[in-house]
């Protein structure tokens, strides 16, 4: 049902309040002080001038900040706890003052002396510190080998050996990270811009050694996160520390220029893809080898080689990750971590294989459809990539395509079209929900879900109403509050499945209960609960993934080198789509982010300074409306009984996966040149 966005009116009228818009009485303001060296040690910290700023309240640093306990995340538990500087931008102090302006001035007046050490911030495929970790992000083994890749690759009739180099990327949500914290009678109340209030509450409980019941975290409206708010972040911890230290409520809104160093990034990758195939295009050997970086604070391994374990028949294969711990900020999740960069490399390599075999790129993919998941041998719960490719080709008008590269001209413009496939796993996390019926025929459903713009409020209300067989307006849904039954993080495209299954079960049980009472709800109401604990712990006998196909048409200006996407069309197989309106938005938003990845977005590490060069939206370019024309998202309404009661797969991330490859393949078709680096900015293309 295309229900309209539940809180749409509140959002467009400004009534929806975001974290930074909560200002408790007596609120103080905090402004962090980032490290000014890329590696070293703090040798002295001078507070005098800072504390002399009118309105200054405190300057917290490692020598006086409240002590933190282990919480399983060194990016949090080490905040203001020691004198080491692991990367530029790491917080060395926190200024607190009566106003935002005073806090900023106070922070600027803190003088820190460092013993700087030489730093190393540049990833390369032959970096001496590269090692093979046990795990890549997402709990995937770092290395998987089947058969004898080297021998079969050497023996293949057709061989593609291509290396792709991707820069770091940053999530840059529209609403920067923010927290407002206050302590009252030993209880901690935090408004936090987060993808999961339960997770933030649990982290704060560990860090401050508090019973989770004494902490409330509210994430009512969130202006995007794209993974950067998927794990608890420094603002919540720092605001709570400052509030504890000063005895005042404290608001901390990160300036955008500080996001890059402390809220994660998509790690740069160097990816080598080798594909051996017969002259008929059938793949015999496939290797996807990834080199990436993490920080010295925490190991995070971008799992870019993982989609190659899912996509194509490949009897002999090797997928492997290596990582180097550099003096860089800690990487983290960014929309479709692993799949987005990994499928760029794999799907561009497939395009190279199509060219090498003379096969149409759609036909090449169809020829390599596996019967079961290549890596595990498990049957797919549903796949339908073939249908996505065929349906996309039909809608896009692919059949008339002249395969020759570099031959379509319109004045100074070269034109081309490209295709790429997409995949994203079906994930599920433990979530809990309750549903209550009252005698007036109304229902109240509670789950600590987060609406980060994904439409969670809307679709969860729909799921509840359907299970209760009640009209939407009869259902009140409470989310975004850690006092509600625990909900998983809005991440991994798992929200609707995780929260939704719990909501469905609670509402289904409640409906049965109401029937038992003959439809007469007693005065004190009826309540039922549901959870996904068992499903989250269970190993499915099926390989469960969403799939899709992207088609793109580009024009390349031969005078300026500018690439523009004329149209992009995606067809997805993502289970049952619960709300076509919000789903379309998710797909289009992610495709737009893929366009940004292909053409505009890039964070470059300054080797001397040891920091990201782009730290604002003037230099980190994201697509604007004028960059996004002719976008279409379609889907195949799959029926898959091996998923959840709604039959849904996740849709938040698959739209970005493969979209950059479709554009890069179109640029090759337009120009005849292979670009194996992103973004395809004019300086690269010209
Ligand atoms: Mo998304 S990167 O799983 O928050």
Burial status of residue 642 (CB atoms within 10 A of its CB: 0-12, 13-18, 19 or more): middle
What gap in Å lies between CA 585 and CA 2, rounded to an integer?
Answer: 11
Distance from the CA of 308 to the center of ligand 1, in angstroms? 20
C-alpha 47/C-alpha 283 separation (Å) is: 64
Q: What pLDDT score was predicted for residue 398?
A: 98
Residue 72 φ/ψ region, left for φ over 0, alpha for ψ in the -120 to 50 degree band, beta for the rest:
left
CA distance 320 to 190: 41
Nearest CA to ligand 1 atom 4: 227
User: Could you identify the atom of ligand 1 that is nearest to the CA of residue 493?
Assistant: 3
425 pocket-lining for ligand 1 (C-beta < 6 Å) = no
CA distance 45 to 48: 9
Distance 610 CA to ligand 1 centre (A): 26
* Ligand 1 centroid distance, CA of 456 (Å): 14
Concatenated DSSP letters for 571-638?
EEE-B--S-HHHHHHHHHHHHHHHHHHHHT--B-EETTTTEES--STTTS----GGG--SEEEEE---
State how far Cα 567 lies from the chain centre: 24
Digit-coded pLDDT (tens) for 145-182: 999 999 999 999 999 999 999 999 999 999 999 999 99
299 among known catalytic residues:
no
d(CA 63, CA 663): 51
Query: Which is the closest atom of ligand 1 to the Cα of 494?
Result: 3
Integer-rounded Cα Rg, in Å, for the chain is: 26
How many angstroms separate the CA atoms of 677 and 682, rounded? 12
Residue 489 CA: which ligand 1 atom is closest? 4
Q: Is the CB of 548 under 6 A from ligand 1?
A: no
Strands of the 84-85 sheet, one edge to the other: 84-85, 40-46, 111-116
Percentage of the chain beyond pLDDT 90 is 100
Predicted confidence (pLDDT) per residue in 176-205, tens digit: 999 999 999 999 999 999 999 999 999 999
Q: Which atom of ligand 1 is nearest to the CA of 227?
A: 4
331: Cβ below 6 Å to ligand 1? Answer: no
**Does ligand 1 lie within 6 Å of residue 343's CB atom?**
no
Query: Beta strands 250-253 and 28-34: pairing type?
Result: parallel
Question: Could you tell me if the CB of 424 is within 6 A of ligand 1?
Answer: no
User: Exposed, middle or buried, 9 (CB in 10 Å: 0-12/13-18/19+)?
Assistant: exposed
How many secondary structure helices (H) and strands (E) does the chain include?
17, 29
Among 373, 562, 653, 677, the one annotated catalytic: 653
Question: Complex ipTM above 0.85?
Answer: yes
- Tell me, in angstroms, the distance from the centre of ligand 1 to residue 72's CA: 19
**Domains of the chain with CATH codes:** 25-118+175-262 (3.30.365.10), 120-168+265-368 (3.30.365.10), 376-426+544-686 (3.30.365.10), 427-537 (3.30.365.10)
Cβ of 224 closer than 6 Å to ligand 1, yes or no, is: no
Best residue among 200, 427, 491, 498 to mutate for probing ligand 1, ranked by most atoms within 8 Å of CB: 491
Q: Secondary structure of 115-164 in the HEC alphabet?
A: EECCCCCCCCCCCCCCECCCEECCCEECEEEECCHHHHHHHCCEEEEEEE
Give tens-digit pLDDT for 461-483: 999 999 999 999 999 999 999 99
- Max distance between CA atoms of the chain, in angstroms, equals 77
Q: How far apart are CA 342 and CA 401, in angstroms?
A: 27
| Pocket of ligand 1 contains residue 334 by CB under 6 Å | yes
Is 293 close to ligand 1, i.e. is its CB under 6 Å away? no
5 — pLDDT class (breaks 50, 70, 90): very high
232 close to ligand 1 (CB < 6 Angstrom):
no
pLDDT one-digit tens code per residue, 515-562: 999 999 999 999 999 999 999 999 999 999 999 999 999 999 999 999
Grouping H, G, I as helix, E, B as strand and the rest as coil, residue 515 is helix
CA-closest candidate to residue 332, choices 259, 271, 273: 259
Which atom of ligand 1 is least distant from the CA of 334? Answer: 2
177: exposed, middle or buried (C-beta count within 10 Å: 0-12, 13-18, 19+)? Answer: buried
Residue 1 pLDDT exceeds 90: no
Model pLDDT for residues 356-393, shown as the tens digit of each residue = 999 999 999 999 999 999 999 999 999 999 999 999 99
Distance between Cα 491 and ligand 1 center (Å): 4
Other Cβ atoms within 10 Å of 639 Cβ, number: 10
CB of 570 within 8 A of CB of 549? yes
Q: Is 492 in the pocket of ligand 1 (CB under 6 A)?
A: yes
> For the chain, first and last CA: distance in Å?
47
What are the angstrom distances between the C-alpha of 40 and each of 118, 226, 323?
8, 31, 22
Mean pLDDT score of the chain, rounded to an integer? Answer: 97
Backbone angles phi, psi at 115, to 5 degrees: -100, 100
Distance (Å) from CA 335 to ligand 1 centroid: 5
Structure tokens at 380: 């797919």
Contacts of 185 (CB under 8 A, 6+ apart): none
Pocket test for ligand 1, best of 172, 230, 453 (most atoms within 8 A of CB): 230
What pLDDT digit, counting tens, does each position of 220-236 carry? 999 999 999 999 999 99
- Residue 25 gets which letter from DSSP? T
C-alpha of residue 333 to centroid of ligand 1, in Å = 6
Residue 333 in contact with ligand 1 by CB distance below 6 A? yes
Q: What pLDDT digit, counting tens, does each position of 320-346 carry?
A: 999 999 999 999 999 999 999 999 999
Nearest to 294 by CA among 266, 319, 273, 270: 266
């Amino acid at each position: 049902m295309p229900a309209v966005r539940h809180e749409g009116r509140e959002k467009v009228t400004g009534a929806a309040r975001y974290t930074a818009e909560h200002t408790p009485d007596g609120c103080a303001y905090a402004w962090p002080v980032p490290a000014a060296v890329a590696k070293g040690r703090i040798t002295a910290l001078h507070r005098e001038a800072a504390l002399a700023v009118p309105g200054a309240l405190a300057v917290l640093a490692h020598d006086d900040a409240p002590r933190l306990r282990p919480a399983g995340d060194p990016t949090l538990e080490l905040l203001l706890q020691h004198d080491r500087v692991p990367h530029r931008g790491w917080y060395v102090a926190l200024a607190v003052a009566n106003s935002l302006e005073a806090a900023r001035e106070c922070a600027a007046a803190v003088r820190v002396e460092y013993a700087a050490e030489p730093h190393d911030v540049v990833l390369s495929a032959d970096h001496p510190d590269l090692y093979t970790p046990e795990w890549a992000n997402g709990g995937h083994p770092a290395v998987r080998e089947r058969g004898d890749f080297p021998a079969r690759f050497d023996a293949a009739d057709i061989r593609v050996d291509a290396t792709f180099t991707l820069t770091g990327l940053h999530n840059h949500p529209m609403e920067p990270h923010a927290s407002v914290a206050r302590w009252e009678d030993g209880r901690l109340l935090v408004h936090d811009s987060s993808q999961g209030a339960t997770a933030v509450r649990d982290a704060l409980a560990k860090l401050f050694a508090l019973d989770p019941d004494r902490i409330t975290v509210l994430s009512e409206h969130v202006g995007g996160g794209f993974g950067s708010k998927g794990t608890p972040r420094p603002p919540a911890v720092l605001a709570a520390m400052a509030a504890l230290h000063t005895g005042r409520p404290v608001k901390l809104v990160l300036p955008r220029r500080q996001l890059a160093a402390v809220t994660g990034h998509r790690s740069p990758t160097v990816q080598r893809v080798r594909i051996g195939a017969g002259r008929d295009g059938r793949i015999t050997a496939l290797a996807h080898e990834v080199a990436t970086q993490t920080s010295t604070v925490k190991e995070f391994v971008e799992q870019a080689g993982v989609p190659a374990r899912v996509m194509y028949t490949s009897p002999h294969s090797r997928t492997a990750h290596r990582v180097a711990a550099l003096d860089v900020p800690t990487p983290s999740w960014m929309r479709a971590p692993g799949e987005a960069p990994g499928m760029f490399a794999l799907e561009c390599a497939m395009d190279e294989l199509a060219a090498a075999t003379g096969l149409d790129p759609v036909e090449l993919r169809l020829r390599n459809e596996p019967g079961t998941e290549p890596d595990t041998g498990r049957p797919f719960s549903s796949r339908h990539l073939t249908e996505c490719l065929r349906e996309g080709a039909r809608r896009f008008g692919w059949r008339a395509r002249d395969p020759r590269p570099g031959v379509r001209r319109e004045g100074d413009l070269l034109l081309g079209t490209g295709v790429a496939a997409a995949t994203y796993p079906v994930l599920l996390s433990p979530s809990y929900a309750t549903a209550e019926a009252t005698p007036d025929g109304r229902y109240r459903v509670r789950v600590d879900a987060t609406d980060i713009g994904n439409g969670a409020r809307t679709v969860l209300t729909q799921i509840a109403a359907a299970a209760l067989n009640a009209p939407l307006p009869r259902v009140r849904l409470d989310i975004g509050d850690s006092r509600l039954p625990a909900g998983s993080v809005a991440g991994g495209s798992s929200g609707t499945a995780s929260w939704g299954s719990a909501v469905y079960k609670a509402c289904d049980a409640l409906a049965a209960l109401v029937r038992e009472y003959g439809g007469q709800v007693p005065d004190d109401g009826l309540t039922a609960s549901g959870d996904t604990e068992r499903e989250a712990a269970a190993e499915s006998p099926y390989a469960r993934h969403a799939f899709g196909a992207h088609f793109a048409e580009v024009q390349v200006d031969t005078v300026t080198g500018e690439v523009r996407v004329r149209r992009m069309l995606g067809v997805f197989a993502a289970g049952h789509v619960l709300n076509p309106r919000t789903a379309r938005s998710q797909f289009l938003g992610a495709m737009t982010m893929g366009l940004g990845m292909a053409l505009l977005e890039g964070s470059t590490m300054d080797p001397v300074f040891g920091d990201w060069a782009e730290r604002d939206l003037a230099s980190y370019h994201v697509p604007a409306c004028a960059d996004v024309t002719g976008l279409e998202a379609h889907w195949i309404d799959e029926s898959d009984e091996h998923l959840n009661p709604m039959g849904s797969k996740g849709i938040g991330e698959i739209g970005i996966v493969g979209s950059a490859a479709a554009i890069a393949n179109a640029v090759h078709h337009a120009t005849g040149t292979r670009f194996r680096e992103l973004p395809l900015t004019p300086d690269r293309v010209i």
